[in-house]
Structure 1
C-alpha cells in the first residue's frame, strides 16, 4: 500500500513537501539552469555567473529493510539449517542477491504508475493500493497461500507466552533481534534436537519478517501482526 501523504486539496507546508509529491514532481519536471551575478565582498571586483547548475535534488527514502542481513545469514548456514529453511518454504531467499538497497528506486517505481492516476490522487488524502501481484512483479516474492490475519488481543497474549517458552525468556521484551540472530548463526551439532529446531525456525521466521519482508518503523521491533503463521510453524509454508 502506498500512501499519497499529500493532505487536502490546496494544502501547503510540510504536506506539499511529502516524498510522494516530490517524486511525482521529479517525474514531470526537468532541472533548470539559473543565472546569477555576485559581487566581490570588497566591492572592487565583481563576477557574473550565468547558467549555474543547481545540484540535483536527491530523494530521501527511509526504510528499515536490510536484505544484506538475510543474505549474510543464509551464506553462513550449515547443511541441516538449510534443510530447515526449505521445510519452512523460504528457499526462494537463496536466490536473493540484493546486498544493498537502491533507495532512489522508490521514485522510479512511482514514475511507472499511470500519470493521470497520480494526478487524480494529487492533493488528496486517498491511497494508491498495491496488490500482492504488483509486489510479485517487482520483487519476485510469492503471492499465494493462506492470508495472514492479525491475531486478537487475547491470542497475542497467549502467543507471546508461548514464544517466551520457546526461547526460554521471562518476558516478550527479552526476545530481541540480536538474540535471534545468535540462535540462527549458532553452529549446531548434527543432528539438532527438537528444541533447537523449533528455536531456529522461529528465530529465522521472525528475523526474515522484521528485517526484510515487513520491517517496522521502530528498529528491531517484532510486530504482533505476523505472530499467527510463526505460531503455526508446522504450516508456515502454506501462508502468503
Structure 2
C-alpha cells in the first residue's frame, strides 16, 4: 500500500485536502471519529502526555510584520496576503490546548468533534476568514515543472550561497527584514514576496517538524512572484493541517509523547474559540480576518473560560466546557490590513 501511495504522489494528478488525508490515513491509520453516528471515539490523550515543541513562532511573526514599511505592506497586499498584516501581538502557542483540539479533529469530515453534541465543521473558506489569504485559484502543489527546474528558478529571487542555506527559515527572514534605502527595485520586490511566503508558511501557516528547514512542496507557486495571489493557499494550509492531525493522533495512540506540533494549530484555536459561547467574552462576527480580534490576553482568557479543572489541587486542565454557538462565521469577505 505504501508503494501504491508513493506512485500516486508522483502522478501529478490534482488532489484536494480530502484526497491527501485519505492517503495519509492509508500510510498512518488512526482510530476515526464516527461523526455520522452517536458514537465519538478519540485517541487516548493521557493526562501526562508530553509535547516536545512546535515550529510555529507566532510572537516572532508579529514582530516581523509590525516592523514593515508601507512599501512592504503594499507588496504583501499585492500577493493577496493583506489579512496577515492585521496579525495580533500573540506571545506563544498553548501547546496542551493545541494537542487537545487536534486530537478531536476528524480529518475525513473536517470536523472538530468535542463530544456527541458539540461539533464544528470547517473548510478552506474558514482559513480565509481567519487569516485573509487567497482561497481560490490553482492548487499550490500542482505544477507541471519538474523540481529540478523549480528550485533554481525560485533561487533567482531567493538568496543563498548553497542549497542548504536556500532551505533555511532564517535566510528567508533575513530577506523579509532587510532594510532597503529608497524604493525597492523589481528584483528586491520579487525577493521580498517569495521570502515572505516561505517565512510565513514555515512559521505560522504550515510549519513542519524540522528545525530551520523550509519545505519545497509549495515552491512551484513561487516561480512567478506576481502570480502568488493566483494560488489557493487556504486549501494548502488546510491540507497540511489535516495531515498534521493524522500524524498527531497516530503518536497519541502509540504513546504519551507528541514529538512536534506541525500544521497550523493557531487556525483551529481561533476557529474553535470563535464558535463557542463564553458569555461576555464572545466576539462580534462582522469583521475579518478573525485573527485580528485574538490578542494574547483575549486568547488566554477565552481558553481559561473553556477549561475544566480535573481536580481542585491540579493545575492541569481539560477543555470543552462551553456550548457551541449558532453558526455566525459566514458572510463578509476578508479585509486586508
- The TM-score by the shorter chain falls in which range? 0.5 to 0.7
Select the residue among 188, 198, 207 that pairs with 1:215: 207
Local SS of the residue matching 1:22? coil
Q: What is the TM-score with the length of structure 2 in the denominator?
A: 0.47
CA gap 1:22/1:103 in 2 versus in 1, 3 angstroms? same
Any stretches of 5+ residues in structure 2 without a counterpart?
A: 1-16, 33-41, 106-111, 233-337
Please, which moves more after superposition, 150-159 or 218-227? 150-159
Equivalent residues, number = 188
**Contact 2:134 2:230 survives alignment (8 Å):** no
Equivalent residue, structure 2, for 1:196? 188
Q: Distance between the aligned counterparts of 1:188 and 1:114, measured in 2?
A: 49
- Aligned pairs for 1:12-91 (under 5 A) are 21-23=43-45, 57=48, 60=51, 62-91=53-82
Equivalent residue, structure 1, for 2:113? 113
Any stretches of 5+ residues in structure 1 without a counterpart?
A: 10-19, 26-55, 118-128
1:109-167 deviation digits (Å, cap 9, x = unpaired)? 628506459xxxxxxxxxxx974246557x45557212424256962111111122223
CA RMSD of the aligned region, Å?
3.4
CA gap 1:82/1:162 in 2 versus in 1, 3 angstroms? same
Equivalent residue, structure 2, for 1:232? 224
**Contact 2:154 2:219 survives alignment (8 Å):** no
Q: Distance between the aligned counterparts of 1:6 and 1:190, measured in 2?
A: 54
**Contact 1:159 1:231 survives alignment (8 Å):** yes
The structure whose Rg is larger is 1
1:10-63 deviation digits (Å, cap 9, x = unpaired)? xxxxxxxxxx6233x7xxxxxxxxxxxxxxxxxxxxxxxxxxxxxx64663743
Q: Distance between the aligned counterparts of 2:199 and 2:159, measured in 1?
A: 18
Q: What is the TM-score with the length of structure 1 in the denominator?
A: 0.64
Q: How much has 1:105 moved relative to structure 2?
A: 2.4
**Contact 1:209 1:215 survives alignment (8 Å):** yes
Select the residue among 173, 187, 197 that pairs with 2:179: 187
**Contact 2:145 2:220 survives alignment (8 Å):** no
